[in-house]
Structure 1
Amino acid sequence: MMREDDIRNASARRRNLLFLTQRFLADFGFYQAAEALKNEARLPAEEYELCDNIDLDSIYLEYASYYHLKFGKYPKIVRKLKPTVKVEVSSKTKSKTKNTLTHTTSATQAELPPVEPVSNPGDLELTVKKVESLSTIGSATTLVPTSSSSTTNIVGDENRTAALIRLQEIEHPAGTGTAADGLLSQQDWQNLAELVKTTIMRDELKLSWTDMCGNASAMEVVKEAVLTPLKYPQLFANGLRPWKSVLLHGPPGSGKTLLAKILYAETRNQVTFFNVTSSVVVSKWRGESEKIMRILFHMAQKHAPSVIFFDEIEGLTSRRDRPSDHESSKRFKNELLQLLDGMEQQTGGVFILASSNLPWDIDDAFLRRFEKKLLVQLPNPIERAILIGKQLPITLSVSKEQIELLVRISEHFTGDEIRLACKEIAMQIVRRATRACKPNERTEEAVPLQRAFEQIKPLSLKLMKRHLQWQEGHGS
């Protein structure tokens, strides 16, 4: 037996559905039907009224969006019945058929009058389409107009036609197929497109491939994915496609973001570069984050060749089986998965570049989408010596023995940690220039150099071993 709470909830649900239906009929011009429903259902209009932020149309749109995110397609609500009566209209009977649809009769069922045979099969009128659409709502063989509602029938036909058109727009969105520009036809989508445009980088960075010390394999893969198709498009004319997505992982400061900056600087006038951050794609409004991601990929395809760079992507692609994940987060991840998977079927030049400090926190489904997963290595002794020589102040004279000492101290240092140590040395020179120094301090050059490197505690001692193990099991 049903509990009292279940009975109360069922009664409230039935009442809410009736209020929604009554408002829907009134909004679309079915005033007599709305009034009849109100009286027959005995809706307590004096006690309740429908909230202004909800209606049947918005509920339908929300369900269609949810269904598309879950199953990859829009729901099919109605289907067309097989017609049992064929209506043939010629140019000679145009006015006769039109009058038949709006003519009033006293009988409860009126048969369609016979018409003359079609002399030209191409002369079909729009009235036939209206008859077919009406047959899916009512009976396929009868039309029941009343003498007092001919004008209401015409208005009702227009409203039903508008509803069918909107249903077709939902089931077949303009963002697919040849009408891809229709995705931005609505104002709210245009506002989100303006937000996505802010992620396009336009800064002038003076960087080159020579600024990246080490990690030659990662640079080669990135060049193969972006530069090679631009220089040698004929190599990819016979079905061969360049790398579509690359994941860079390594300890913080190893040079992942620097590689992305160099790629942007080297291809600034040839490639559209999208620098995506969580503050742009994550929205507090329901369903807006998924729209932003769809617009992002849509604009990247329109402005191809393009690069979409996700920095610290583990924040957006964490595991989906965590109990703490909100429903909106799961919908966003599902949308991103579909967009990344769809990229494999696209022929446009869109390259996905992502970086992560914690690749083991990324969901396995996202890892599968990345064709290459590369570990950004720490600099070796030769590369550390080159970095130290570049980062030290040019006014400071350093001997070969001092460089060798700094190279030994900087073992397990990332490139950014070497930069911080050299910056500390430069700041020591600034401090000496801004305060009175003792005479014996000027001769002790080796002690500040060594001290600046020794005070850096490399983070890679904890993380690099785990990155190596993950690369052996998941890398490519």
Structure 2
Amino acid sequence: MLREDDIRNAAARRRNLLFLTQRFLADNGFYQAAEALKNEARLPAEEYELCDNIDLDSIYLEYASYYHLKFGKYPKIVRKLKPTVKLEVNAKTKSKTKNTLTHTTSATQAELPPAEPLTNPGDLELTVKKVESLSSIGSASTIVASSSTGNIGGEENRGSALIRLQEIEHPAGAVAAADGLLNQQDWQNLAELVKTTIMRDELKLTWTDMCGNASAVEIVKEAVLTPLKYPQLFANGLRPWKSVLLHGPPGSGKTLLAKILYAETRNQVTFFNVTSSVVVSKWRGESEKIMRILFHMAQKHAPSIIFFDEIEGLTSRRDRPSDHESSKRFKNELLQLLDGMEQQMSSVFVLASSNLPWDIDDAFLRRFEKKLLVQLPNAIERALLIGKQLPIMLAVTKEQIELLVRISEHFTGDEIRLACKEIAMQMIRRATRVSRADEKKEEAVSLQQAFEQIKPLSLKLMKRHLQWQDGHGS
């Protein structure tokens, strides 16, 4: 005997399904059907309405992703019906039907056995089965000739219905099917969100602003600029670098390299600057959709660059017990997208930066064709950086520059910038200070003090980055 809770839950399920179906019909333009369902089912529209984050299509896609994660393939919801032949045999039409079945195309006649007289309906049924088997090979004219007009219309209606169902079916990773997904309203909203990651700022940066790290700059140029200038070099199966991981201490210039790459290719390449706030969603399954749309749009806007800053936050190890199921699903989706780039994502370059490459899962590390260490500036490069960053109105001697270069050993480029900014702020403080009339002595700007108050972080991290580069770099 059913309990009251079971009856109540069944009624709630039935009501929810009816609301989902009614909304689906209305969203797809079947307004009369939606209104008829609403009236016939007596849906209390004044009491209930669907939540904003739920619809029939999203439920279907969630089930498809769950099924694919569990069984390694997407579920089959519909299957094509086999063609059927209905023949009405009576005393008046038996001879006519016999003549119709034996009258086939030349190709079919070559394979049919010699026609025999039909003595009973059983022989007629056997002959029809033979014709059906031949029609599956390519001789469908026999069945069409023997089918009635009503059956033909039914087959056309079923064919159009199957095509429409296939258009909304969840794709098996193919890029062509993603166009159908973007026709859905919820996917269009996510596509608008992904468009916000496309950079359109005007940055006045050049390759000369990157001091040092010539090897990293050269690899990035090979991956992006060389295919643009010399596409004929990659016409015979040779492909440029598809993915590069930059790692190093904070402030070493990884993000600066990405900014320079954007500034140098602004009018030629679409640049996607991806952050965690865009791709991580609280709704179940939405993060995976955002990643799929991101890579799909990157291909449609190719040549394009996808830049992941601090990628270790998205690609941490999957064997951690604290990881939630949604995080694992997101990482699996990203792995599939990165792995499929060689076959599908043509003219798309993935650039990523990380301060903690040892926290990245090994499967993601394999996807990056190049793993490069962004080195600290040497003495000559530090002298160039100090000369660029010091205030123009400040006169410094050669001996002072040499002193600052020695003090700034193990400094990153950003730490040198901070020290030079402190010198500039000292000059501003002196210029804005209200001094007494009898006080004419001016305080000298302390260059050495400004550099000595910076405590370089690379002293602890650079050794570990060097060890990781020896074991995993390329």
Output the TM-score relative to the length of structure 2: 0.73
Structure 2 CA distance for partners of 1:198 and 1:51, relative to 1, 3 Å? closer
Q: How far off is 1:45 after superposition?
A: 19
Q: The residue matched to 1:442 in structure 2 has which SS?
A: coil
Q: Aligned match of 1:421 in 414, 419, 424?
A: 419
Does 2:376 match 1:378? yes
* 1:207-241, Cα deviation, whole Å (9 max, x unpaired): 00000000000000000000000111111111100
Structure 2 CA distance for partners of 1:12 and 1:456, relative to 1, 3 Å? same
Aligned partners of 1:72, 1:396: CA distance in 2, in Å?
Answer: 66
Aligned partners of 1:119, 1:396: CA distance in 2, in Å?
Answer: 114
The answer for the alignment partner of 2:196 in structure 1 is 198
* 1:383-409, Cα deviation, whole Å (9 max, x unpaired): 111101110001111111111111111
Q: The residue matched to 2:108 in structure 1 has which SS?
A: coil
Aligned partners of 2:178, 2:63: CA distance in 1, in Å?
Answer: 23
The answer for the alignment partner of 2:274 in structure 1 is 276
The answer for the alignment partner of 2:15 in structure 1 is 15
After the TM superposition, which residues 13-412 of structure 1 pair with which residues of structure 2 at under 5 Å, given as runs?
60-69=60-69, 73-77=73-77, 164=162, 167-169=165-167, 171=169, 173=171, 176=174, 178=176, 181-346=179-344, 348-412=346-410
* 1:112-141, Cα deviation, whole Å (9 max, x unpaired): 999999999999999999999999999999
Structure 2 CA distance for partners of 1:425 and 1:137, relative to 1, 3 Å? farther
Aligned partners of 2:362, 2:24: CA distance in 1, in Å?
Answer: 44
* 1:148-204, Cα deviation, whole Å (9 max, x unpaired): 999999999999889855653455639836565333111111111111111110000
The answer for the alignment partner of 1:472 in structure 2 is 470
* 1:354-406, Cα deviation, whole Å (9 max, x unpaired): 00000001011100000000000000011111101110001111111111111
Aligned partners of 2:110, 2:52: CA distance in 1, in Å?
Answer: 41
Q: How far off is 1:81 after superposition?
A: 7.6
Structure 2 CA distance for partners of 1:462 and 1:54, relative to 1, 3 Å? closer
Most deviating of 89-98 and 315-324: 89-98
Aligned partners of 2:195, 2:380: CA distance in 1, in Å?
Answer: 41
* 1:9-40, Cα deviation, whole Å (9 max, x unpaired): 99999999999999999999999999999999
Structure 2 CA distance for partners of 1:46 and 1:256, relative to 1, 3 Å? closer
Q: How far off is 1:324 after superposition?
A: 1.0
- Asked whether the 8 Å contact 2:64–2:170 carries over to 1, the reply is no
- Asked whether the 8 Å contact 1:93–1:115 carries over to 2, the reply is no
Aligned partners of 1:115, 1:57: CA distance in 2, in Å?
Answer: 53
> Which residues of structure 2 form unaligned runs of 5+?
none
* 1:65-99, Cα deviation, whole Å (9 max, x unpaired): 22234555312356568778687999999999999
Aligned partners of 2:390, 2:49: CA distance in 1, in Å?
Answer: 74
- Asked whether the 8 Å contact 2:190–2:290 carries over to 1, the reply is yes
> Which residues of structure 1 form unaligned runs of 5+?
none
Root-mean-square deviation over aligned CA pairs? 9.0
Most deviating of 172-181 and 390-399: 172-181
Most deviating of 379-388 and 5-14: 5-14
- Asked whether the 8 Å contact 1:88–1:118 carries over to 2, the reply is no
Aligned partners of 2:332, 2:213: CA distance in 1, in Å?
Answer: 33
Structure 2 CA distance for partners of 1:228 and 1:30, relative to 1, 3 Å? closer
Aligned partners of 1:28, 1:105: CA distance in 2, in Å?
Answer: 43
Most deviating of 304-313 and 177-186: 177-186
Aligned partners of 2:42, 2:112: CA distance in 1, in Å?
Answer: 37
Structure 2 CA distance for partners of 1:314 and 1:53, relative to 1, 3 Å? closer
Q: How far off is 1:61 after superposition?
A: 3.8
Structure 2 CA distance for partners of 1:462 and 1:96, relative to 1, 3 Å? farther
- Asked whether the 8 Å contact 1:281–1:292 carries over to 2, the reply is yes
Most deviating of 239-248 and 185-194: 185-194
Structure 2 CA distance for partners of 1:210 and 1:159, relative to 1, 3 Å? same
Most deviating of 9-18 and 307-316: 9-18
Structure 2 CA distance for partners of 1:82 and 1:453, relative to 1, 3 Å? same
- Asked whether the 8 Å contact 2:108–2:134 carries over to 1, the reply is no
Structure 2 CA distance for partners of 1:264 and 1:82, relative to 1, 3 Å? same
- Asked whether the 8 Å contact 1:88–1:115 carries over to 2, the reply is no
- Asked whether the 8 Å contact 1:289–1:332 carries over to 2, the reply is yes
- Asked whether the 8 Å contact 1:271–1:306 carries over to 2, the reply is yes
Aligned partners of 2:60, 2:52: CA distance in 1, in Å?
Answer: 16
Most deviating of 345-354 and 5-14: 5-14
- Asked whether the 8 Å contact 2:175–2:296 carries over to 1, the reply is no
Most deviating of 436-445 and 321-330: 436-445
- Asked whether the 8 Å contact 1:320–1:330 carries over to 2, the reply is yes
Aligned partners of 1:20, 1:109: CA distance in 2, in Å?
Answer: 53
Structure 2 CA distance for partners of 1:403 and 1:109, relative to 1, 3 Å? closer
Structure 2 CA distance for partners of 1:58 and 1:299, relative to 1, 3 Å? closer
* 1:314-359, Cα deviation, whole Å (9 max, x unpaired): 0111111111111111111111111101101136210000000000
Structure 2 CA distance for partners of 1:10 and 1:431, relative to 1, 3 Å? same
Aligned partners of 1:139, 1:35: CA distance in 2, in Å?
Answer: 44
Structure 2 CA distance for partners of 1:414 and 1:37, relative to 1, 3 Å? closer
Q: How far off is 1:448 after superposition?
A: 1.4
Aligned partners of 1:73, 1:320: CA distance in 2, in Å?
Answer: 21
Q: How far off is 1:102 after superposition?
A: 28
Most deviating of 223-232 and 152-161: 152-161
- Asked whether the 8 Å contact 2:254–2:353 carries over to 1, the reply is yes
* 1:436-466, Cα deviation, whole Å (9 max, x unpaired): 4589999887771111111111110111011
- Asked whether the 8 Å contact 2:86–2:147 carries over to 1, the reply is no
- Asked whether the 8 Å contact 1:81–1:136 carries over to 2, the reply is no
